[in-house]
Structure 1
């Protein structure tokens, strides 16, 4: 675990140009995030995560305030950003896609993309072929295509579909 942490931190140590570079850090990865955030970063940092501690003073910059109705076809998220809460209704469903959405929002916020453009980009993104891809040919039962190929990935997929 120490080697993993050191390798990750090396990536951030190379960031030195405050005017052009940004660090986007997932605080769900406590091993790296804790050390990195405590270190005085020479570049601006935007954090994101799925497991904030609201009211504890250590919330990430981008995190899900509310996970609304979710079906196999659509998810509804309210997401806190440094500029306020935004609602995102997307075809990208599942916890793995939420994590990717949070990362995308954090990266876009880090480079000052307007929230309206960020939300529009996410909402206009189609499902990724082979990732929780729902096939509806009027067959009367759900068919989901996913390229999960490890036991962990398959377990994750099945849990997501059950939810």
Structure 2
């Protein structure tokens, strides 16, 4: 076949131009297909990279969100603990204040009762002394008329 092509080129010079044109077209077609394939591969690779970057961003955002949620959870627990502690301290102070008020009231009542008892004892003592004095006077009156 090659020998036939070479003999044909020598016998018909226009065939050489046609062969060269065909070969040129073939080379251009191969080059075009190769270039197009490379461009397509670049586009595919670029899309893969864009997808990979998007996935990395999404994963990073998820990790950041989880960390933020974890930190918020810790902060909430800390705030709850502090609130409970403050509430316990408030209740403790309230109880202490109520105990002091109760002691003061009880002391006031005790003092009032003691004052009443003292007044009653003094009154009773006065009455007893008055009675004793009257008895002594009567005793004296009974004895004196005899004199």
Indicate the TM-score class for this superposition, using the shorter chain for normalisation.
Answer: under 0.3
Normalising to structure 1: TM-score of the pair? 0.12
TM normalised by structure 2 equals 0.14
Higher helix share: 2
Structure 1 or 2, whichever has the larger Rg, is 2
Greater fraction strand: 1
Of structures 1 and 2, the one with the larger relative CO (CA 8 A, separation 6+) is 1
